[in-house]
Amino acid sequence: MAPLLSLAFAACSLLSTAFALPHDNVPVARSKAASSAVGVNVLYSFGNGTWAENLAVRANGQILVSRLDTPEVLQLDPKGIKEPITIASWNSSTYMGCLGISETTSDLFYVVTSGFVDDDFVLTSGVNSIWKIDMSTFSVSEHTGKVVSNATVSKLVDVTTSDFLNGLTTLSDDLILVADAYNGWVYRVNTSTGAYSVAVSEESMKFDSIPNPPTNIGVNGIKLLDGYLYWSNTAVGTLNRIRITAKGAPIGKAEVVTSNVPKADDFIFKSDGVAFIAQNQMDELSVLYPGQSEAAVIAGSNISTILAGVSAGKFGRLADDEHILYLTTSGAEGKPINGTVTVPATLSWIDTSAF
């Protein structure tokens, strides 16, 4: 068993840092001023050299964060009161790190563990796998904050045909979709059996669908909304969509939703369909309103550490934080700011009431 090495790192930075908690925030007047800047708040800091890659929010409000710098999933408290808890960790000689994470049925999560890729994102050793994390067996003592009973973690499947698995989303109780960012396709995986096959493979999922791509990452974040599969293409800087069936088969032609989101990483829809798009290697977060084709930057910039390497976002699930967008950041480990500057990865948040 791997020791719980990461408990120390965040607790000190967290508890010593004063910050405004989401529930203390005064909501600002709702407006459609897409370009208005929004304040970014740090909830947890993960320490030097870390990379927070993705997140999922439990029904009880606690946030599961996957790390890419080491294969771990942590639980963080949305109020910033409780110390982080390592929920699952894997041998770092076997897996490089964790990526996409999504819930299917209540408190059942699936997460990608990645093999080792080189700077071109070509798999050099190991295999990409999908693991099941059953949080229903997990419990913590309210008094001591100590784990009384662990989550139940088991392997679903090794996706042996994949190169670099990244975004993961839930299609139904027993089907998940997972993006292969290098190959430029999306797998459908049956969570009862682990059986997988390529469900969608569109030209606009490929990194090399443009000449001289700036990175070998194509399809990255994937989400479902109103019968459409949406995806970001990092190299091309687009958000795209195609209609799909309940079983994940594409219908008709893919469309470009917006093409002004350079280096788009993962993204999330608010309940009213407004998209928030993390642009990791631009250190920016953009918003896109339904029916529009121009996204607007609302936080961060490529010369600022405010949202250094923002990688993914998820909304709170409690009555008092459903307007709060929690964001993982990589500390710009993927592309240092101004060529040299990296900072500790974080779980940060913004209040989206104005958008």
Ligand X SMILES: *[C@@H]1O[C@H](CO)[C@@H](O)[C@H](O)[C@H]1NC(C)=O
Q: What does the binding site for ligand X look like in residue numbers (CB under 6 A)?
A: 1-2, 48, 91, 93-94, 147-150, 174-175, 190, 192-193, 302-305, 337-338, 341
In whole angstroms, the minimum distance from the beta carbon of 22 to ligand X comes to 26
Residue 307 or 324 with smaller CB distance to ligand X: 307
Q: In what order do the strands lie in the sheet with 228-233?
A: 219-225, 228-233, 238-244, 250-258
Query: Which uninterrupted H or E stretch holds 329?
Result: strand 324-329
Residue 6 or 216 with smaller CB distance to ligand X: 6
Residue 108 or 175 with smaller CB distance to ligand X: 175
Q: Report the number of secondary-structure helices (H) and strands (E) in the chain.
A: 1, 28
Residue burial 28-49, b: 16+ Cβ < 10 Å; e: rest: eeeeeebeeebebbbbbbbbee
Q: Which residues contact 245 (CB under 8 A, 6 or more apart)?
A: 251
In whole angstroms, the minimum distance from the beta carbon of 191 to ligand X comes to 8
Structure tokens at 316: 């709170």
In whole angstroms, the minimum distance from the beta carbon of 246 to ligand X comes to 8
In whole angstroms, the minimum distance from the beta carbon of 337 to ligand X comes to 5
Beta-sheet strands, E only, within 215-295: 219-225, 228-233, 238-244, 250-258, 267-269, 275-279, 284-288
* CA 185 and chain centroid, separation: 18
Residue 143 or 253 with smaller CB distance to ligand X: 143
In whole angstroms, the minimum distance from the beta carbon of 148 to ligand X comes to 6
Residue 31 or 197 with smaller CB distance to ligand X: 197
Dihedrals φ, ψ of 135, to 5°? Answer: -85, -5
Structure tokens at 340: 């040299």
Residue 150 or 161 with smaller CB distance to ligand X: 150
Residue 190 or 353 with smaller CB distance to ligand X: 190
In whole angstroms, the minimum distance from the beta carbon of 173 to ligand X comes to 8
Instruction: Identify the sign of the CA torsion 236, 258, 169, 327.
Output: positive
In whole angstroms, the minimum distance from the beta carbon of 187 to ligand X comes to 13
Instruction: Identify the sign of the CA torsion 225, 37, 312, 265.
Output: positive
In whole angstroms, the minimum distance from the beta carbon of 1 to ligand X comes to 4
In whole angstroms, the minimum distance from the beta carbon of 300 to ligand X comes to 11
Going from the C-alpha of 156 to that of each of 175, 176, 283, the distances in angstroms are: 12, 11, 33
Would you say 306 and 300 are in contact if contact means Cβ atoms under 8 Å apart?
A: yes
Rounded distance between C-alpha atoms, residue 171 and residue 223, angstroms: 9
Residue 184 or 300 with smaller CB distance to ligand X: 300
* CA 12 and chain centroid, separation: 24
Would you say 231 and 219 are in contact if contact means Cβ atoms under 8 Å apart?
A: yes
Residue 86 or 352 with smaller CB distance to ligand X: 86
